[in-house]
Structure 1
Amino acid sequence: MLPVMGTRICAGFPSPADDFLDGELDLTRILVKNKPATFLWRVAGSSMRDVGIFDGDVVVVDRSVKPKDGVVVVAVINGETSLKLFRRGNPPSLTFANKDMPAFPMDDVSQVEIWGVVTWTLHKPRA
């Protein structure tokens, strides 16, 4: 558990009344709904940058969540694990979330498994 400084932090003009300790914060209680099904992955690459997931970020992935249209998933495609944007359809599709990358090719012989759904992204501050 980590100490919590106030209930919120102002992103505008700070209030002197917010300078107090407000208990502890258990990140597991916030980030994890199903502990046995939840995993952390460190992101490598920039294929998901248009949805705010960057190289070096950590994603929280829940294997018990069913993917909905537009969510980021961990997909295993022909044995390779990667992050993709899930699109419902007939058939469903997986895409990159980086407009500078070519379309993600997936042919009829691709073996695809949705491993889990990204529920949170943890960023390092960008300089």
Structure 2
Amino acid sequence: MTYLYDLQAGAPVAVAALPLLVADLGAVVHAGFPSPAEDLGAKRIDLTAQLVKHPQATFTMRARGDSMREAGIFDGDVLLVDKAVTPRSGHIVIAVVDGEFVCKQLQLRAGRMKLKAANPSYPDIVPREGQVVEVWGVVTASIKTMPL
């Protein structure tokens, strides 16, 4: 059995050992003008295989707030966080700042770190001298639920 750790719930969440298969119509969906579907033949894709590359190092967290909205991360989104991915400049990361988890874009320049918000209403985080900031993992996916 594979588990993802949900920090919101404070406990592992089981991911089925079997793949999570959903129908893939193979069609491109245009967000502008409608286009008739040419081929509605459905195959299956495994969402777990698509979204989770390192199962033992992948965790879920729930986004709160709107500081990352311009990066497409909104309040309530479920974030997949992979601790096995080496963080690079430009990655969206989960970092621990003063004991609190934050989601920001990592910027590295000349040996200095900045955690950049994706909303101009929020300040960037530039670690002060002696302040401990740990990049905890890299956000690999944001899952959102549409209102019904």
Q: TM-score range by the shorter chain?
A: 0.7 to 0.9
How many angstroms apart in 1 are the aligned matches of 2:147 and 2:119? 18
TM-score (norm 2): 0.75
Greater length-normalized contact order (CA 8 Å, ≥ 6 residues apart)? 1
Pairwise CA RMSD = 2.0
- Give 2:86's aligned residue: 66
Structure 2 runs not aligned, ≥5 long: 1-19
The alignment's TM-score, normalised by the length of structure 1, stands at: 0.86
User: How far, CA to CA, are the matches of 1:102 and 1:114 in structure 2?
Assistant: 18
Give the total of aligned pairs. 126
| Counterpart residue number, 2:52 | 32
Give the partner amino acid of 2:86: K
The whole-number CA distance in structure 1 between the counterparts of 2:22 and 2:116 is 39
Q: State whether residues 50 and 99 of structure 1, in contact with CA within 8 Å, keep that contact through their aligned partners in structure 2.
A: no
Matched letter for residue 104 of structure 2 = K
What is the aligned partner in structure 2 of residue 124 from structure 1?
Answer: 145
Give structure 1 stretches of 5+ with no counterpart.
none
CA contact under 8 A between 1:5 and 1:19: conserved in structure 2?
no
Q: Structure 1, residues 36-95: CA drift from partner, whole Å, max 9, x if none?
A: 011111111111112111101111111011111111100011211110110011212212
SS at match of 2:56: helix
4+ residue segments displaced more than 4 Å:
none
What is the percentage of aligned positions where both structures have the same residue? 36
Name the CA distance, whole Å, in 2 between partners of 1:16 and 1:53: 30
